[in-house]
């Protein structure tokens, strides 16, 4: 391929071929003079966005006093960043490759006050076109690109959540357009038309208006949470509970059989990888030790505690029905002595406590401590999600485990994630790296998010409702068919039936399976009010199921005026309040009691078998 363009460099005119011209267009044009040095074909490719932002944050911590970090505005930061860093921010946020020339349309939210700094100088031109979805209006910027790599920049240094998205119109034959995602490695394509998703992690937000000239383009949806990837303006946080050399925030889980195993998880500051658990049968002198494995957890914007270690020690070959004591230690420090009990060989009666949305609320933490004291016979806790407000903010997890005191250090805590724990399509990695939950999941991407465990003659299906509902249906059926226990419970954040926004996918894909296998209770949350349904057979035609749906919140949140408006399935509903539920399982009966924070009984019902 021949000669295409002429560039001015080092006082000489250079004739470059197509490959280098494209390289120049993609990476250098925005900063022709300042950045040419970094974009010469002799120089290595630009680093990736994450490592560049990690480095920028490190430099800010070294050079800017902590109490001034949130005073830095975009103008200051653009002057502070090196030309190379700005080039990364301008080119490495979204990379794809096309096999023919295309017109790119970039949809920018019109309420975003600051235009992404790279956009006007990258060859994009603002048009008069507007695209709308059910909530927002986007202005359209366009440019034409040759075949090859397309490099796009960040949404901004602030956290403007309706992030931009793009569409491609091939200038050649549409059916021959090939798009190869480079970064992110997975990208999602749709036909640009009303009804298409805007963000593929938000199927409730559909495109409503598309200008005629863009109809039929290839739409590349994105993830809502990507606004967080380059967040630097008013971005810095502190934890109220920073880590130290003393092990703390100890939480128990069952990764395996509750009769013979337990998983102990705790936190230390960084560089304390040598940590262990000493444990013994209560009243005995023989002590065993188990070393931990440690995960580093980085929250880049947590200015007083960026790096911590989360340790896990799995104890195995324990004696069933036995009280143990344990203490977590490092080479330098000892934690406090706690105790736990393994499940007896045969359990006909047991009690557990279920928390709805907790949202790292201090009052909810106190509620958990009060419930633990009031009902010492409790064997474990479950949660139906929204444990914290922002699942990728470690300071929120610190609050959850600090406010709940020693509750989860003495009895296992078995949660199902909510939409706040798996935030904005960015995943639940912080939950997964802190917990040690079962991996008997529908697949690798569901591990520690959807799982089951058994206690006594009861099966607990703990579901991540933020992941695909249809794709998990086969696992629900398989798990129920292979585990024919007397009592069966399903926990998922989203209430299939509610007075605000029912979940037809759960109703269609899961409920028939729950009916078939005679599941007893469905625990959920999300809408912060209390609701107990009639048995399913009383409001679903043709059903013989006694399944009862209960949803509850353990923390205050947005109130819902419509909490009690659908009498077709509701037996009892109660507005937004601090609540927890105790479930007493007996041989032939189960009683659910719902309590207010002051201990008053709000609701109670019994299911008999």
User: Where does this chain bind Fe ion (CB under 5 A)?
Assistant: 357, 386, 418-419, 526
Euclidean distance between CA atoms 602 and 573, whole angstroms = 10
Q: Which residues contact 41 (CB under 8 A, 6 or more apart)?
A: 20, 23
Beta carbon of residue 418, minimum distance to Fe ion (angstroms, whole number): 4
C-alpha triplet 279, 280, 281: angle, nearest 5°? 140
Q: Which residues of 304-337 are buried (b: 16+ CB within 10 A; e: fewer)?
A: ebbebbbbbbbbeebeeebebbbbbbbeeeebee
Residue closer to Fe ion, measured from CB, 305 or 361: 361
C-alpha of 607 from chain center: 34
Residue closer to Fe ion, measured from CB, 312 or 419: 419
Helix (H) or strand (E) holding 218: strand 218-221
CB 478 within 8 Å of CB 472: no
Q: Helix or strand or coil: residue 68?
A: helix
Beta carbon of residue 385, minimum distance to Fe ion (angstroms, whole number): 6
Q: Helix or strand or coil: residue 516?
A: helix
Beta carbon of residue 389, minimum distance to Fe ion (angstroms, whole number): 8
Compute φ and ψ for 596, nearest 5 degrees.
-80, 170
Residue closer to Fe ion, measured from CB, 470 or 559: 559
C-alpha of 103 from chain center: 34
Euclidean distance between CA atoms 144 and 382, whole angstroms = 54
Beta carbon of residue 206, minimum distance to Fe ion (angstroms, whole number): 21
Euclidean distance between CA atoms 334 and 319, whole angstroms = 25
Euclidean distance between CA atoms 210 and 187, whole angstroms = 21
Helix (H) or strand (E) holding 601: strand 601-608
Taking only Cα atoms into account, the Rg of the chain, rounded to an integer number of angstroms, comes to 27
Beta carbon of residue 555, minimum distance to Fe ion (angstroms, whole number): 7
Residue closer to Fe ion, measured from CB, 20 or 354: 354
Residue closer to Fe ion, measured from CB, 386 or 398: 386
Residue closer to Fe ion, measured from CB, 379 or 526: 526
Beta carbon of residue 359, minimum distance to Fe ion (angstroms, whole number): 6
Beta carbon of residue 553, minimum distance to Fe ion (angstroms, whole number): 7
Beta carbon of residue 199, minimum distance to Fe ion (angstroms, whole number): 17
Residue closer to Fe ion, measured from CB, 384 or 570: 384
Residue closer to Fe ion, measured from CB, 80 or 574: 574
């Amino acid at each position: 391929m021949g000669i295409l363009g002429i560039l001015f460099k080092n006082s000489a005119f250079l004739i470059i071929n197509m490959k280098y011209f494209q390289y120049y267009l993609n990476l250098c044009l925005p900063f022709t003079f300042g950045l040419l040095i970094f974009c010469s074909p002799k120089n290595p490719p630009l680093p990736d966005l994450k490592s560049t932002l990690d480095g920028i944050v490190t430099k800010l911590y070294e050079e800017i006093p902590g109490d001034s970090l949130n005073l830095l505005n975009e103008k200051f930061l653009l002057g502070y960043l090196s030309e190379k860093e700005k080039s990364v921010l301008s080119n490495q946020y979204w990379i794809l490759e096309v096999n023919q020339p295309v017109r790119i349309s970039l949809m920018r939210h019109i309420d975003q006050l600051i235009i992404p700094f790279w956009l006007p100088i990258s060859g994009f031109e603002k048009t008069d076109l507007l695209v709308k979805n059910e909530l927002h209006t986007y202005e359209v910027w366009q440019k034409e690109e040759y075949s090859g790599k397309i490099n796009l920049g960040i949404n901004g240094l602030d956290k403007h959540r309706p992030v931009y998205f793009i569409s491609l119109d091939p200038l050649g034959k549409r059916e021959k357009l090939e798009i190869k995602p480079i970064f992110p490695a997975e990208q999602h394509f749709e036909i640009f038309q009303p009804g298409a998703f805007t963000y593929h992690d938000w199927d409730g937000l559909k495109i409503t208006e598309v200008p005629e000239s863009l109809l039929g383009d290839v739409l590349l949806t994105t993830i809502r949470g990507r606004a967080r990837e380059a967040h630097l303006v008013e971005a810095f946080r502190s934890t109220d509970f920073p880590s130290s050399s003393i092990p703390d925030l100890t939480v128990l889980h069952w990764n395996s059989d509750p009769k013979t195993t337990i998983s102990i998880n705790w936190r230390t500051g960084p560089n304390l990888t040598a940590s262990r658990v000493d444990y013994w049968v209560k009243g005995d002198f023989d002590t065993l030790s188990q070393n931990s494995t440690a995960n580093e957890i980085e929250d880049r914007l947590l200015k007083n505690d960026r790096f911590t270690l989360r340790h896990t020690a799995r104890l195995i070959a324990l004696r069933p029905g036995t009280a143990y004591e344990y203490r977590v230690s490092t080479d330098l420090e000892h934690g406090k002595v706690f105790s736990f009990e393994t499940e007896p060989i045969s359990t006909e009666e047991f009690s557990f406590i279920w928390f709805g949305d907790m949202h790292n609320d201090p009052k909810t933490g106190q509620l958990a401590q009060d419930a633990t004291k009031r009902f010492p016979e409790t064997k474990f806790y479950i949660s139906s999600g929204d444990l914290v407000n922002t699942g990728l903010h470690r300071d929120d997890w610190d609050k959850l485990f600090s406010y709940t005191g020693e509750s989860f250090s003495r009895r296992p805590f078995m949660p199902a994630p909510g939409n706040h724990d798996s935030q904005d399509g960015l995943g639940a990695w912080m939950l997964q790296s802190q917990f040690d939950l079962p991996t008997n999941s529908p697949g690798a991407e569901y591990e520690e998010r959807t799982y089951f465990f058994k206690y006594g003659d009861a099966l607990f299906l703990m579901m991540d409702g933020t992941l695909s509902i249809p794709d998990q249906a086969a696992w629900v059926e398989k798990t129920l068919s292979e585990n024919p226990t007397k009592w069966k419970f399903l926990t998922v954040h989203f209430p299939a039936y509610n007075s605000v926004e029912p979940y037809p996918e759960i109703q269609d894909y899961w409920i028939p399976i729950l009916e078939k296998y005679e599941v007893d209770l469905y625990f959920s949350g999300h809408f912060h009010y209390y609701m107990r349904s009639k048995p399913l057979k009383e409001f679903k035609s043709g059903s013989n199921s006694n399944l009862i749906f209960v949803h509850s919140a353990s923390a205050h949140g947005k109130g819902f005026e419509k909490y009690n408006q659908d009498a077709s399935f509701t037996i009892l509903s109660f507005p937004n309040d601090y609540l927890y539920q105790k479930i007493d399982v007996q041989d032939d009966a189960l009683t659910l009691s719902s309590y207010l924070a002051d201990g008053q009984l709000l609701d109670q019902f019994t299911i008999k078998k």
